[in-house]
Every structure is written in structure tokens, then in C-alpha cells.
Amino acid sequence: MANISGTVNFVFNQNTTTPSQDIGCAIILDSATNQNEVIDSEAITIVNGPGPYTIQNNFLEAFFNILFTGGGGGLTANTATVTTASLTQVTLSTVVNLKVGDLLALQVPTFTNLGGNPSNWTVGQVTNISGTVVTFTPTGPDSNSSNPPSTPGQARWNGINPTDIQIRRNTFNSRPEWAIFGTAKSYFEAKNGVRVTIDGNVFQGRFSNIALQNRNQTGDAPWSVNKDFTISNNLFAAGGFIIVGIEDGLHTTLQGSNLLVTNNLFRVPSPAQPGQTYLAFTGGGTGVTFSHNTVRSNSDSMLFGALPAVSGVIFRDNVLNSGSYFFNCTKGDTSLATCWPGFSHDHSIVINTSRAAPPAYMSSDFVVNNDAAIGFVNAPGADAGGDYHGYALSSASTFKGRASDGTDPGVNFQVLDAALGPSGRIVRSRPRRRLVEIAEMSRLRTSGSIGHATR
């Protein structure tokens, strides 16, 4: 089956109570088969639905986003008709499941919102409910409509997000030869997701990212959110980074929160990655922790900050390069507090690659001049593609046991090995093949499980 393209291999339905249960095979798709057209392909897409979902032991390929959640507009059973309206108060046909503090989407004539986007919805945070009369305060990017809600018009609140997703022991493969078709987007892009665990996976092929980019895609789903994510014990075999954009600047959403990035290994990019890179790009949200990661792929900075700010960031016990700028806030006065209010960082080993003296704020971390000062087992061999255990601290390292928890800074390789399973599962795809590969999959469990696909 040569020269076949497709946009989606797995699509979970938008049922508000149960995930789709009618998928019988896994498809690994070379979507860049037509050199005259490149499409936005995904191997697995979960548009909406409460889960639980288990994605485990699969080999997954796609050109654009290998795994994708959210992005299709919000579903809700909680709707009403607006019968009377002002800029801060509406009367609704029902207020079932609506409470003070909720975000309420209200249909209005088209306007340009604060994000510069056309919108047909204003959003308010509910401050009072008296019978079916609801008082609200307009909030977020969709707060500036000069018209009151339409009468009659629709009101929407408290919908669903993709929820309870387990992503374990998969290989995400983005083929380097696909680079001739342009830049792929992400290994995994989450526009919405709640209680998501990404653990023990191998991300390989091209340098790419995991992108948490909160989106109220159609403006009418302000309950959209990315929160309660754990990204742990993963091997980024070609390097990579995390995008923390868990507060939508385009339409009003809930603020994303509670992200843990821990015990991940980011190897040297191969082929070499042009441009400046970092462990994470941040822009919106609260409660984000980076701990015990070992990173060999960052050249710009450790964190690259944009607005909106991310509050409550903890950066601790990592091993990585400083890049040119250490912590690089690019907005306002460029101070750490501008991009990361309440920022806490300590006990990381930082290799000073900036060609300058470290900033004074780095006194709570361990700044060294080169790899030799750390005492790796065999960093040059690991950088050249050899055993990744070369990034462990040797018994002679002066930093043994000096993390904040009394263990070694950086990755705990015993925990990483156990999560990855046998031999790290790195699989090499055959170069430039133009086939759609169909893999058998074990029985799809009623929980919405995708698993054990083989090639």
C-alpha cells in the first residue's frame, strides 16, 4: 500500500460517559508519503471523553503529533437558554450543576477578544445564583464583549476533558528522514487533559517535545484545562524539551496546574539540533516541579520563560547545562520573579556553558565548569550514543548523595531502567519506507485500553 496518507489512526469518540470501544488494530502511519502534500497526522487522537484510557506497549509513528488529546471543542450536558441579559447578569432556563466560582460561557454577537481572536462567546466567573438569575464577572481573553449575551442565546458550563490517561512503555518514533517535509510538532500535544501519566516511554528519532498547551479551541468551553500531569522515567533518546503553556491566551480557560517532570533522561540530539534549546519553555499555569532530570540537550537555558507567568515553580536536583542564559526570562524586566513568581531552585548540578560567570542567584545550586568536575561514569561515551548509564555519577563523584533528598542529583537510573523495561526498547525504523504498517493489538478492554501492539 504505497503512497497512502491519513490524518488519524485512533479516534476516541466524544461520548460523555464512556470511551469508544470499537477499535481493533493499531496503525503506524508514514504520513509523509506524498511529497506534494504534508498533512497533520496523529497516531492516536483522544478528542474528548472521561476515560480511563491506557496506552501501553505500542510502537507509534506519525509526522505531526504522534499522540494528541483535546482540541475538538468542549462537550457538556450542562446547557441552558438565556432569557434576559446584561453585561454582568443573565436569567437562564436552568442552573442545574452550576455553582458560584464556575466559568460560564455565554453566546454573544461576534467580537474581537483580548487575545486578538474573533469570538462568539463571552465568559464570566459566577459570583451569585438566585433562583435562575446568575451574576458573573467577565474574565480572561473572552471578557471584553461590548454586547450583553444574546437573548435567546446559549449558556454552557462544567463540561468534560480527556481524563485518567495512562501512557506507559511505548516507543514514540519520529523519523529523521521526514525532516525534508518540514518541522514536526510534538511527540505528544495535550490541548486538554486531566490526571495524565506519561511514564517509562522512549521518545526517539527526531528532536521534539511534549507540549502541554491549554486550549479552549472553539471559545465555548472555558472548563478546558491541562492539570495533574506526571512526566516521569522517560528516555528522550534524541533530546527534547517540555512546553508548559497551561493557560490559554486565545480564549478563556481554567488555569492549568500540578505538573511534575521527574527522573527523565534527555540525551544529546542526534542529528545535532540547530538553534537554541532548553529543558522547558514556560508560559502560563501554576504548580510545576522539575526534579531529578538529567539533560544533555539544552543550549539556550534551563528554563525559557514567556508570559503569562508560571507561579510556584520548583527546580531541584537536576543535572544539566546552563546554556547561554541559565534561567532565561524574556519578558518585562527579565527578572526571575516576572516569569516565575515564587520560584524555588536548589541542589541542581549546572555545567556552566555560558562563557560567563554564573548569576548570583545560582548560589543555591552546584555550578561547575565542565563534565569532568561532576564525575560521570562515562559521559563522552554516552554522548557518542553509547550506554546511557554513562550519565550516572561515579562512586568517586563529589556530588554523590548531595541532592536535596540525600540521593544523587539527576536521574535515578535503577528507577529509570525498571520503568523502561528490557533494554530500553529502542527500535529503529527502516529508513524512508513509504508503507502504512498495521500492527495487531491485544483485545481492547472496556476501559478504553490500547496495548501490546507489535510490528
- Is the pLDDT at 8 greater than 50? The verdict is no
Helix (H, G, I), strand (E, B) or coil at 77: coil
How far apart are the C-alpha atoms of 109 and 122, rounded to whole Å? 9
More confident of the two residues 26 and 248: 248
Q: Read off φ and ψ for residue 81, nearest 5 degrees.
A: -100, 135
- Check whether residue 348 and residue 315 sit in a common domain: yes
298, 268 Cβ separation under 8 angstroms: no
How far apart are the C-alpha atoms of 442 and 165, rounded to whole Å? 18
- Check whether residue 197 and residue 108 sit in a common domain: no
How far apart are the C-alpha atoms of 309 and 231, rounded to whole Å? 21
How far apart are the C-alpha atoms of 154 and 104, rounded to whole Å? 10
What's the domain range around 131?
79-157
- Check whether residue 143 and residue 193 sit in a common domain: no
404, 347 Cβ separation under 8 angstroms: yes
Structural domain tally of the chain?
Answer: 2
41 pLDDT tier (thresholds 50, 70, 90): confident
218 in a structural domain? yes
- Check whether residue 182 and residue 151 sit in a common domain: no
**The three three-digit cell numbers of residue 277, written as one number:** 534549546
- Check whether residue 122 and residue 202 sit in a common domain: no
- Check whether residue 193 and residue 93 sit in a common domain: no
Q: What is the pTM of this model?
A: 0.88
142 in a structural domain? yes
- Is the pLDDT at 33 greater than 80? The verdict is no
88, 136 Cβ separation under 8 angstroms: yes
- Is the pLDDT at 240 greater than 60? The verdict is yes
- Check whether residue 195 and residue 150 sit in a common domain: no
How far apart are the C-alpha atoms of 175 and 184, rounded to whole Å? 10
- Check whether residue 328 and residue 280 sit in a common domain: yes
Helices and strands (H and E) in the chain: how many? 3, 35
- Check whether residue 210 and residue 320 sit in a common domain: yes
452 in a structural domain? no
- Is the pLDDT at 4 greater than 70? The verdict is no
Helix (H, G, I), strand (E, B) or coil at 102: coil
Closest CA to 59 of 435, 418, 452: 452
How far apart are the C-alpha atoms of 187 and 20, rounded to whole Å? 23
438, 25 Cβ separation under 8 angstroms: yes
Taking only the tens place, the pLDDT of each residue in 269-319 is 876 776 679 999 999 999 999 999 999 999 999 999 998 999 999 999 999
152 in a structural domain? yes
Mean pLDDT, to the nearest integer, of 16-45? 48
CB count, 10 Å around CB of 74?
Answer: 24
270 in a structural domain? yes
Query: Which range, 26-35, 255-264, 273-282, is most confident?
Result: 255-264
- Check whether residue 124 and residue 196 sit in a common domain: no
Taking only the tens place, the pLDDT of each residue in 318-330 is 999 999 999 999 9
CB count, 10 Å around CB of 401?
Answer: 11
Closest CA to 254 of 226, 233, 273: 226
181 pLDDT tier (thresholds 50, 70, 90): confident
Q: Read off φ and ψ for residue 187, nearest 5 degrees.
A: -65, -45
- Check whether residue 209 and residue 108 sit in a common domain: no
Percent of residues, the chain, with pLDDT higher than 90? 75
- Is the pLDDT at 425 greater than 90? The verdict is no
Taking only the tens place, the pLDDT of each residue in 362-421 is 999 999 999 999 999 999 999 999 999 999 999 999 999 999 999 999 999 999 999 999
**Tell me, what's the pLDDT at 271?**
67
Helix (H, G, I), strand (E, B) or coil at 167: strand
Give the side-chain half-sphere CA count within 13 A for 163. Answer: 14
38 in a structural domain? no
Taking 3-state DSSP, the helix, strand and coil percentages for the chain, each rounded to the nearest 5, stand at 10, 40, 50
User: How high does pLDDT run on average in the chain?
Assistant: 86
**Tell me, what's the pLDDT at 16?**
32
- Check whether residue 151 and residue 183 sit in a common domain: no
CB count, 10 Å around CB of 437?
Answer: 16
Give the side-chain half-sphere CA count within 13 A for 336. Answer: 18
220, 188 Cβ separation under 8 angstroms: no
93 in a structural domain? yes
